[in-house]
Every structure is written in C-alpha cells, then in structure tokens.
Amino acid sequence: MAISLPDLPYKKDELAPYISANTLEFHYGKHHKTYVDNLNKLIAGTDLADKPLEEIIKITTKDAAKAGIFNNAAQVWNHSFYWQGLKKKGGGKPSEAIAAKINSTWGSYDKFAEELKNAGVTQFGSGWAWLVLEGSQLKITKTANADTPLAHGQKALLTIDVWEHAYYLDYQNKRPDYLAAVIQNLINWDFVNANLE
C-alpha cells in the first residue's frame, strides 16, 4: 500500500488570479508529487511501508535517524491539508461554529486575520502558518520546514504554505501580498468548520 498523491479538490486554474495555474502545476504537480515519490522510496521494504500517513508522521517525529522520512511524510500531509483549505470564491469572514470561536478568541475576525497573516509573514525561511486546536483552545501558530501540528498534539484546522515555491511565481518576494490574497479570497471555511467538529 503506497502513499498516493490525492487529487486537487479543484481545477488548476480555479484559484486564479490569487494562485495561478502555473503555480499549481509546479507546487502540486512537481513539489507535492516529489514528496510522495520520495516518501514511497524511503519506506519501501521497511516496517513503515504498510502504515497510514498520519502514523508514519507520529512514529518518526522524534527520531533523528528517520528525519528524511518524517520530512517527506509531513510535507505530503501538510500539502494535502493545504489544498483542501482553499477554494474558489472562498476567504473573507467565516460562518457557523468557527466564526463564534474566532470572535471569542480574538475579539474580531479582523484581529484574527491580522494575526494569521502575521504568523506567515514572520515565519523565518520556509514553513507554514496554521490555525489549530490545542485542547479546546484555538491558536495561530507557525512551523518551520516540514514541521506539522500532528507532531505537537494539536489538531490542524487550516494552513497556509509560506515556502517560496507557494508564491514566488505569482508574487515574487511579496509574501505578505500572497498571504493577504489567500486570507481574503481563498480560505475554505466549510473545511475549517468540518475539522472543528
């Protein structure tokens, strides 16, 4: 049972102009696929070969000798999760349960949006900005490289990839503009609400 590359939940041109088809050709078609291929090569013939992706991540998290497997497995998971958190005509203010929880945690959607963007802007180098649940508490966090909330006992609700490959073709060095565009136009709040349940 090899780990497979999941289908994108939309066509490659549907997130434009905020994320172009060109970016998705490379980001999904090359980067994400390469993490899947590398992971399958690394686990082939080992006792991890038949394990689900989440279990591979948890088993290899604290094992320095398995850092290569952890990095590729976590990047496979993080990317699959990132794609699901985006949609055409998404973004803006949330609804339902997550809206109430955001308001009670940050006081307003605007404050939340500012802090989420700030997490992505201030992640030094490659990584991810996250909305997570820690216990019953909402938190905005950032992780470096492949690191993931799964490795920290947190439940991921939403992520934004801030590796340069996520935005450089469309925004060059302007990471803040990419983050603002994703938050305003692409967040799939239905996905976030489903994760909250």
Contacts (CB under 5 A) with Mn ion, residues 24-63:
none
* Interface segment toward Mn ion; rule CB under 5 A; list 15-23, 57-65, 115-123, 156-164: 156-164
For the stretch 52-56, contacts whose Cβ atoms lie closer than 8 Å and that sit 24 or more positions apart, written own/partner, are 53/3, 53/77, 54/150, 56/3
In whole angstroms, how close is the CB of 56 to Mn ion at the nearest point? 19
Q: Is 163 in the site for Mn ion (CB under 5 A)?
A: yes
Q: In this complex, which beta carbon is closest to Mn ion, that of residue 94 or of residue 188?
A: 188
Q: Is 130 in the site for Mn ion (CB under 5 A)?
A: no
Partner residues linked to 133 by β-bridges: 138, 155
In whole angstroms, how close is the CB of 35 to Mn ion at the nearest point? 9
Q: For residue 29, what are the contacts with CB-CB under 8 A and spacing of at least 6?
A: none
Helix, strand, coil % over all residues of the chain, rounded to 5: 55, 15, 30
Tell me which residue has its CB nearest to Mn ion: 161
Sole residue written with tokens 């490289």: 145
Q: How many Cα atoms are found within 13 Å in the side-chain-facing hemisphere of 195?
A: 22
Using CB under 5 A, which of 129, 161, 170, 182 touches Mn ion? Answer: 161
Q: In this complex, which beta carbon is closest to Mn ion, that of residue 161 or of residue 170?
A: 161
* Interface segment toward Mn ion; rule CB under 5 A; list 41-49, 84-92, 154-162, 177-185: 154-162
Q: In this complex, which beta carbon is closest to Mn ion, that of residue 32 or of residue 101?
A: 32
CA-nearest of 71, 44, 75, 76 to 60 is 71
Residues of this chain that bind Mn ion (CB under 5 A): 161, 163, 166
